[in-house]
Structures are given as C-alpha cells and as structure tokens.
Structure 1
Amino acid sequence: MVNSKKIYNWYIALVAAMCMVLYGYDASVFNAAQGSDNWHEWFDLDGKNDAYLIGLVNTAYTIGAIISGFFFGGPVADRFGRRWGMGLGCFITVIATFIQAFAPRHNIGAFIGGRVLIGIGQGLALTAGPIYIGEVSLPEVRGRVMTFWQTFYSVGSFLAYWIAYAGNIYKKRLGHWDWRLVVIFQILVPLIIMVLLPFQPESPRWWIKRHNNIDEAKKALRRIRDTEQEVEDEILSIREAIEYENETLGGGSYKPLFTDPSIRKRLGLAFVINVGQQLSGQGTLNSYSSAIYKKIWTSSQTINLINALNATFGILFTLNALWTADRFGRRWLLIVGAIGMAVCMLIVPIVGLKTPDVIAADGSATKTQPVGIAIVFLLFLFIFFYKPSWGATVWMWTSEVFSMNVRAQAVGMCSQSQNVANTVFQQFFPIFLAKEGLKCLFFFFATNVLLAIFVFFFVPETKQVSLEEMDALFGGQNHVEKGGQILGISDARRSEATDSEKNTTVHRENSRDISSV
C-alpha cells in the first residue's frame, strides 16, 4: 500500500521539479511576446529588418544561464544546499520578471537585461533541482519522478501560451498589457516554490558531504523512508561513497571532471546528449514556431491557439515516460525518440515544399488550410516522440550518472550546454529560416539520425542503478565498496548481502505501489 512517507517523498520531489516551469515558461514567453504587434511597437522592432536583434533578445537569457550554470550553480548548491540553490534562483527570476514587464518604452536594452538576469536565476535553480530529486528519490522510481521534471517544462509552456492566447483575444482592450500579462505571470510559480521550500528536508547526501552531519541526514531520510533499516543502509552507502571520494578524488571542485577518466567519459556523453536535445529541433521550434506558422497562416490568433494546444499536448506526451523510463530503460527511449523525430523532420519540409502556395492580396505566400493542418499534425507528432525521450530522459540520465563529489558542478555544466547550443544556433536560425524556409528542417532530420546512432553505440543503460554505485557502470571504482574498505566496514556489508537482496525486492514492490500515485 502507498503510505504517507511515499506520498511525501513524491511531494518534495515535485516541488523541486516545479523549477522546470521557470524554464518552460521563459522558453515560451519570448515566442509568445514576439507574436504581439504591441511588443514590437513598444520596442521599435521590425520582424524582418531586426531579425538579428530579435535573435539577441532570445539568446540573452541563455548567456545568463550559461554563466550561472557553469560557474555559480554547482558551488551555490554545494555550499549552501540544494534548497538554497533553487530558492535563490526563483528569487532572482521574480526580480528579473518585473524588469522585463516594466521596461521603459523604446528601451530594448532593459528588456534584454531582464532576460539575462532570468537566465542567471534559472541557471541556479535548474542545477539544484534535478540534483535534489535524484538524491531524495529511490533508484526504482527515480526515472518516473524525473519524468515530472520535463512535464513541468510543458506546464510552463502551457501557461505562457494560453495566457498569450487570451491576451490576443482581448488585445484591443488590453493594449500593451497583452504582452505584459504573459511576462508578469512568470512570477507565479517561483513564488510558490519559495514559499514551500523551507518546509521540506534538505538532501541527506548534502548534509553528509558538506557538514558530515549524520544526524541531520538521518532526520531527512526518516521523513521519506519507510523503516529505520532503510535509513541506516542508505546512510551507510552515502558515507562510504563520500569517504572514498574525499580520500581519493577530492570533492566540490571541477578538477575531477577532467582528471578522472570515468567521470570525464560521463561528462563527454552528457554534453553530447544535452547539446543534441537542443539540436533535435524542439528548442528552436519552441522559440520560433510562431515565425514558422506565419509562413502558413496570417492570423496571430490561430498561431497562438496552435502554440497553446502544442503545450497542452506536450504535458500529456511527457507522461509517457512514467511507464517507459523504468520499464524499457533510458537507451530505448532515446533511440526510439530520435528515430521518430527524424521521420517527422523529413516529412514536414517535403509536404511544405511539394504543395502549392496560395498568394494573398498583399502578395504574401501561404499554404492551403489542409496543408497547414498536415504540417501542424506532424509537428505535434514530433513532440509526441520528443517529450518522453529527449525531453525527459536527457535530464533523467544527466542527473543520475555523476558521483557526489562532482554532481552539482557536472549537472550545472551539462544542463547549460543546452543553452550553449541554443546561443549559437538560435542566433542565426531566424536568418536560416528567412532564407531557406521549411528546407531548414532537413538539418534537424540529419541531427536526429546521428543522435540515434550515437546513443546506440556509446550511451549505457542506467535504470535502477543506485547513485552511489553508478561509477562502476562507467568503468570506474565502486565508491561504496572502496569507501567501505576505508571505513573498515566492508566485511559487514558483505554479511548483509542477503538482506540487500531482500531490500531490493521490497523496493521494487514499493515502486509498483508508487506508480499508482
């Protein structure tokens, strides 16, 4: 049966997962805002002549996020705790939202500055959030819990696009508030997270790693584990792993990321799949779908409705990872997802290029409604494949493969490598789209084929492997065993082998119970 502790364990993980709403909302808010004529008028921007500047507005966020994720996210989460990392990131996001919403007329610089600050805040939150989830969740359900990390990205998009759609309907009455409403609602979820975080436990792994405070670590675990034996076993595994890392590898620094062959291998793999996540096409489509749809429809209300429906279905599609991630594994999801996305990105430009254009009264060329519906269906099918795989699973895999001594630094760097890819690619994508039209989607077809091949040959399966024993999977030392030898308790652990097998069975039963929550 599902008990209160299991429900509470899910609850605290989901509060951390809500940090992803910030990312999903911001990734969509600019796409929604640039669909408003009032936004262009307020900042004196022209969609055709100022394509480079509009690209800069979009990438300003990623610049802040890269700086924060690479250099501040890990140290803040390690020094002050995972909760502080999330809370501080949310606070900065709230301040930056007001800067954007009330940027002076004709002052695009203030708007860009607000987006840089939001990037800094989210770089902190998006580093600490997945680490916290991984460190408080049982291995058997870690994949399912991390599914909600990506689900909340879709929730953020859902909120942004539906608010934009409502604002577009009443844009004459709202005036410049049609885009301000979309921006200002970005404070909603960060405020909720800031209120809830102080009332949930800090990561037990952080208590031991940072302060060697076993008592506080046990208090935290007792709130989320069923039995005292489970608490003692987990504390012992954490102590052993951290003892080995402190003695041999050094903790809380960036050096092991480049000197330890096993960690270096994981860092390289994580960089590739995180960059691949953005070059798959979803990141660009999420930011520039309005520009793509304008080649099909002239009505901004229709485009806003399609974006809102896209975000709505994105939530449902992401939940497919709940029953696939821990059943079929991370590799299966990544390969199937990449192949499905490749097929969609092959068919969409073919449909667009091989069907006739309709010339409007103003001389602009659009597509017939049946062709437009076909293209939208294919782009929805694209997110059906993307959301549970390269959306949810990339974050899942990245948050669970690194050892405690480098986890915060590595997750921060790898997650922000997504923004490195975005900064480079999205800066010139508007020009790419303007010159090549739908033919630019062939690039995403080729990228997804390469990603499927890469995962098949290089990415190992990580489902249901405990965080403390992940290193052995990548050719490194088993930190639990080595730490036990240092602490002089390896014999005791060997005598508990039978009990460990029983605990594994219990954990699997628990995971089946949790799946009904």
Structure 2
Amino acid sequence: MSKKNLWFAAAVALQTGATFGYSVGFVGGVLVLPSFLRHFHLDTASTHDLARAQSVIVSSWIVGAFFGVPTGIPICSRYGRKPCLVFCAALYLLGAVLQTINAGSSIGLFELGRLLNGFGVGAGTLVSPVYISEISSPADRGMLMSGYQVVIQATALVGFWAAYAANAVIENAFDLQWQIPVAIQLIPGLVLLLGTFFIPESPHYIAGKRTIFEVEQTLAWLRGRPYGDSLVTREAREIYDSGLAAKRRQALQPVSFTRAALTNPVRKRLLVGIGLFITQNATGMNALNYFAPVVFLSIAKSVSGALFLTGIFGAVKLISAFSYMFYCVRVSTNRFWLLSGTAICAICMFILGYCAAPEPESTDPGHSAHLTIRGASAVASVYIFAYFFGLSSGPIAWNVCSEIFPSHLNAKCCAITTCTQWACQIIIAAVTPILLASIGTLTFTVFGACTVLGFVFCWACVPETRGVALGKEMSIAFGQDVKDDEAGAVEEIRDLADEVTPLLVDRKRRRRSSVAIVV
C-alpha cells in the first residue's frame, strides 16, 4: 500500500498551519523594523500612538481568526472541506497582498490586510484538522495530525528569522526591508490554493452527500490501492453506513444543532474539546512568549544575545513538534503524553516564577553568581516547558478535537472548540500584561496553578483516542452504547415503514379503482 497520495493530500491541508505559524512569527520582528516605522510614520509617533498601532495590527489578526472560524462553518458543512480550503487560501492571499503593496503611508490598508489574513487563518484552523482526520487511517491519523504543530512551529521560526535577516541584509532606507518578510506570506497561501486542485474531497463528507462508489474511489486513491480492493471496500462501507445512519436519524427525527449538541454523547465530547483548549492556553505558553525575551535579556545582558536565545526557544519548540510526530505518537498513548507533559509544564512554571523573580539588593560577594544560577535555571525551565508543551496539550488538543465528533456534526463541533482556542488567546493576550504589571513573575506561578487544574481535568475527563477508528469505535471510547443506539434507529425505521406501507397500499388501490371507472 502506497501512502504518497495520503501524505500529499495532508501536506496540502497542512499549509493552513504554515499560514498560521508564519503570520505569528514574522509580525513581531516587522513591527520594530526601522523601514516599517519610517514608512508608516511611526518613528515620530508618540509612545501611546505607537503602542496603539502595534496593538491594532496584532489584535486585528487574532479577532479576524476568531470570526473566521464561524465564517467557515457553512462552507465546510454545506459545500465540503475542499471548497473551504480554497476559501481560506483566497482570503489569506488577499490579506497578504494588501499588507505587501506600497499604497501610501496610511497604515489602515495594512491593518485591513491583517484582518482578512486572520479570517483565512481562522477558517483554516477549523477545516484543516477536520480534513486530515477524515482522510487518514486510524494508524496514520496521529502522525499526520501532529504534523500540524510541526508546520506551525517551523514556519513561526522562519518568520522570526525572516525579519531578523531582512534587518541585517537590507538597509533601513528601503521599503523592501519590511515588504519581503511580509510578502513571504504569499508562498504558503499559493501552495494551499494550487494544491487544492489536486486533492480529493473528504470521504466522510462524500458519504453524507453522494454515493458509496464515490467514497470507494476516493479511498482507493488515498490508500494507494486499486478500486475494488477488499480493504478499501470494507472501509468505504463502514464510512458510508455511518453517514447513512446519520442521515436516517436526521430524516426520522430532525433536530437543530443546538439540541443535538446537548445530547449526552455529543455534550461529553464538546466538554472534552473545550476543556482541552482551555488547558492548552491556561498553561501560559502565550504569557511565556510575551515574557521570554525579558528573561533572556536578564541572562544575556544584551539585546542580540536575548534575540539569539529567543531563536533557540523557537528551535526547541520545533524539535519538540518533530519528536512528537515521528517518535512519541508511536511509542505511547495520548493520555500518557498529555498527563506527563502537562505535569512537567506545571513544575516548570513554578520554577520559572521563582527563578525569574528579581532578588533584593545584597552585599554578599557571591550574590552575582547566585543570580547567574537562578537566571540559568529560569532559561532552562523555559526550554523544558516549551519542549514538553509540544509533546502534550500543544498538539494533542488539536488532534483529539478533530477526531472525536460524529461526522455529521464534525464541522460545527470543531468550530466551537476552535473558537474556544482563539477566545482564550484573546483573553490571555489581554490579561497577561496586567498580571505582569501587578504581580510580576508570580504570573507564572498563577499559570502553574492553572496547569495543575488542567492536569486534573485531563486525568478525569479525557479518554484515550489513539488508534481509535472514527464512528462506532469513537462512540464506544466515550461510553456510548452503540448497539442500543443502532437498535433504536432500526426500530424507528421499522415503525416508520409500518406507518407508511398501509398508506401506500391504500393509495395504490384508489389509483386502480379510478382507472377501472374511466375504462
């Protein structure tokens, strides 16, 4: 069995992660480039106006991503996962173009581009995990889904060094210094847009809308097997039956999404997904990203040294993502990595909260050496935290939320969990500066305590989903009695048939009588 088609389709969908990662990575560096500040007249702006402009540029992207998720729901559910990928790419490219073009010194166009850019990224965080989980076999799903974090971290690292290289190579007087890092956004957007012309629709979406033959054709291409292969036929039948059962239940007893989401099996899965993303953000990764340069500056004693250590921080996150994708996901379960990684992250936050705190003045001649030890411990805790975050809630929250929901509710349920992720990012971005200003490095102790609560939630509520097939097996993993559910659906169909059959017979007799009278 050849997996090249499956990997190709997943690689195309993973470009939404590239749009995500690079957008996060490059913007911080671009905002301080001298050419960018000069072009938009921010170099002469007051501190308040400069902070406001930088805040709007960053927050407009996050707000766009938040609203991009519900925008993608009707496209993903009604028209398919593939058209939604096209929609993401188109919006992202339009936003990148508006940011890149030199249309005067007004920053409004740049901010509009960031907003549209965020819309595309937000919709991408909805559809890409759903698409990848639905095209993957149970054995490959964990690795392919973990590739999402690898791509995000890799492109974020590229974004950081792109701004750094532009500053080092291009003179401050040229607008190309800021335009080139911004224009690099076009690359993943174009790859995503063009790649969608060569990948199929999700077989799970096809099962709910078309015929089993189309499901089997798509699976044969994805699995690298000939059409009619017994394994492909069996998998296609399982997927089609799952989609058909969902359509029958909807036809027999049509209910709104809200009512369906409040039923016990779906409600439990939604609570798990929402809780995982709250846990992911409550660990304090965004707060750490915010404060890490300050921690590194206290150790390196220079801006260049602090930037270098920050670059290593990004490299550690990338190494962690690779470790999870190619090793960790194969050797143990999701629950093992989620629980162990979250526990280590909590310990690292407590250590950071203690070691990063400034010590009172002392006349002890060994005090400076002690400061160096504490500072080194703070840097080490940052790196260890980053590594184990990349083995636990970082990738696993995305993986689990993309695979646990019933296929006919998948897009809408994933939209809720993904919106939770973006809403948490907005809250953390707003709260972190206030906490740092009021309680200082005790902020990290607070995040450590939140991480402990997240550990308790994961231990008590998150079931094992590694290697579990979508559909019946996933329902069993969440404690749903599939046999009883299926028996009830069959009984409903029989009852409906008993009601409809006499009506059809009576109608047929009346038609015969009317024909006899005419003759």
TM range (shorter): 0.7 to 0.9
> Cα–Cα, structure 1 residues 150 and 72, in superposed 2: closer, same or farther, change >3 Å?
same
Matched with 2:395 is 392
Please point out which of 218, 221, 230 is paired with 1:220. 218
* Contact 2:295–2:356 (8 Å) recurs in 1: no
Counterparts of residues 8-47 of structure 1 (less than 5 Å): 8-40=5-37, 42=40, 44=42
Long gaps (5+) in structure 1? 359-366, 489-517
Q: 3-state SS of the aligned residue for 1:202?
A: coil
Choose which of 456, 461, 464 in structure 2 pairs with 1:461: 464
Cα contact 1:240–1:487 (8 A) shared by 2 = no
Aligned partner of 2:508 in structure 1 is: none
Match for residue 134 of structure 1? 133
Q: How big is the shift at 1:372?
A: 5.1
1:167 aligned residue: 166
- Within 2, Cα distance between the matches of 1:382 and 1:120? 30
Using a 3 Å threshold, how does the CA distance of structure 1 residues 370 and 157 change in structure 2: closer, same or farther?
Answer: farther
For 2:375 and 2:120, locate their aligned partners in 1 and report how far apart those are by CA, in whole Å.
Answer: 38
Q: Who wins on radius of gyration, i.e. which is larger? A: 2
Match for residue 337 of structure 1? 341
Provide the secondary structure at the position in 1 that maps to 2:440: helix
Q: Quick one: which amino acid aligns to residue 420 of structure 2? A: S
Percent identical across equivalent pairs? 23
- Among 345, 348, 353, the alignment partner of 1:349 is 353
CA distance in 2, matches of 1:333, 1:375: 23
Report the CA distance between 1:148 and its aligned residue: 0.6
> Which residue is equivalent to 2:60?
60
1:281 to 281, 284, 287: 284
Q: Once the two structures are superposed, what CA deviation does each residue of 1:279-334 show, in whole Å capped at 9, x if it has no partner?
A: 21223434564466556667444343333332223222112223323432111111
1:397-430 Cα distance to aligned partner (Å, 9 max, x none)? 1101001011111112212211101112202423
Task: Quote the Cα distance in structure 2 between the aligned partners of 1:374 and 1:175.
Answer: 41
- Per the alignment, residue 414 of structure 2 pairs with 411
- The residue type equivalent to 1:244 in the other structure is A
More displaced stretch, 437-446 vs 400-409? 437-446
Match of 1:346, as an amino acid? F
Where 2:355 maps in the other structure, the secondary structure is helix
**Mapped contact 2:349–2:447 kept (Cα < 8 A):** yes
Over the aligned positions, Cα root-mean-square deviation in angstroms equals 3.2
Q: 1:412 is matched by which residue type in structure 2? A: A
Structure-2 residue corresponding to 1:94: 93
User: 1:17-416 to 2 correspondence within 5 Å?
Assistant: 17-40=14-37, 42=40, 44=42, 51=51, 54-69=54-69, 71-102=70-101, 107-170=106-169, 172-173=171-172, 175-209=174-208, 211-225=209-223, 226=225, 228-249=229-250, 254-286=257-289, 289-290=292-293, 293=296, 299-322=302-325, 323-355=327-359, 373-416=376-419
Q: List runs of 5+ in structure 2 lacking aligned partners.
A: 363-369, 493-519
Q: Report if the CA contact (8 A) 1:257-1:267 is conserved.
A: no
- Residue 101 of structure 1: how far off its partner (Å): 3.4
Instruction: From the superposition, tell whether residues 375 and 187 of structure 1 become closer, same or farther in structure 2 (CA, over 3 Å).
Output: farther
- Which residue identity lines up with residue 249 of structure 2 in the other structure? T
Is the CA contact 2:88–2:121 (under 8 Å) kept in the aligned structure 1? yes
Q: CA deviation at 1:387?
A: 0.9
Distance of aligned partners of 1:286 and 1:40 in 2 relative to their CA distance in 1, 3 Å threshold: farther
Equivalent AA in structure 1 for residue 30 of structure 2: A
Amino acid at match of 1:231: V
Structure 2 CA distance for partners of 1:436 and 1:112, relative to 1, 3 Å: farther
Is the CA contact (8 Å cut-off) linking 1:242 and 1:404 kept in structure 2?
yes
CA distance in structure 2 between the partners assigned to 1:453 and 1:9 by the alignment = 36
Which shows bigger deviation, 190-199 or 109-118? Answer: 109-118
Contact 2:25 2:158 in 1 (8 A): no
SS, match of residue 239 in structure 1: helix
Q: CA deviation at 1:107?
A: 3.8
Give SS of 2:232's match: helix
On the 8 A contact 2:212/2:237 being kept in 1, the answer is no
Where 1:464 maps in the other structure, the secondary structure is: coil
Deviates more, 1:184-193 or 1:426-435: 426-435
Preserved CA contact (<8 Å) 1:147 1:392: yes
The residue type paired with residue 64 of structure 1 is G
**Match in the other structure for 2:479:** 475
8 Å CA contact retained: 1:222, 1:231: yes
**TM-score between the two structures when normalised by the length of structure 2:** 0.83
Distance in 2 (CA, whole Å) between partners of 1:377 and 1:47 is 33
Greater shift in the superposed pair: 96-105 or 418-427: 96-105
Shift of 1:381: 1.3
Partner of 2:365: none
Cα separation, 1, equivalents of 2:93 and 2:180: 14
- Displacement of 1:157: 0.7
Change (3 A) 1:149 1:138: same
Cα distance in 1 between the residues matched to 2:18 and 2:316: 16
How far is the alpha carbon of 1:137 from its aligned partner? 0.8
State the 1:153 CA deviation.
0.7
Deviations 1:54-83 (A, max 9, x none): 4443222221122121x2222211222212
CA distance in 2, matches of 1:331, 1:117: 37
Are residues 1:440 and 2:437 paired? no
The CA distance in 1 between the partners of 2:180 and 2:202, in whole Å, is 36
- For residue 463 of structure 2, give the secondary structure of its aligned residue in structure 1: coil
Task: Say which SS state the counterpart of residue 388 (structure 1) adopts.
Answer: coil
2:35 touches 2:174 (CA, 8 Å); kept in 1? Answer: yes
| SS of equivalent residue, structure 1 residue 467 | coil
Which amino acid letter does the alignment assign opposite residue 187 of structure 1?
L
The alignment's TM-score, normalised by the length of structure 1, stands at 0.83
Amino acid at match of 2:318: I
Cα drift, residue 190 of structure 1: 1.4
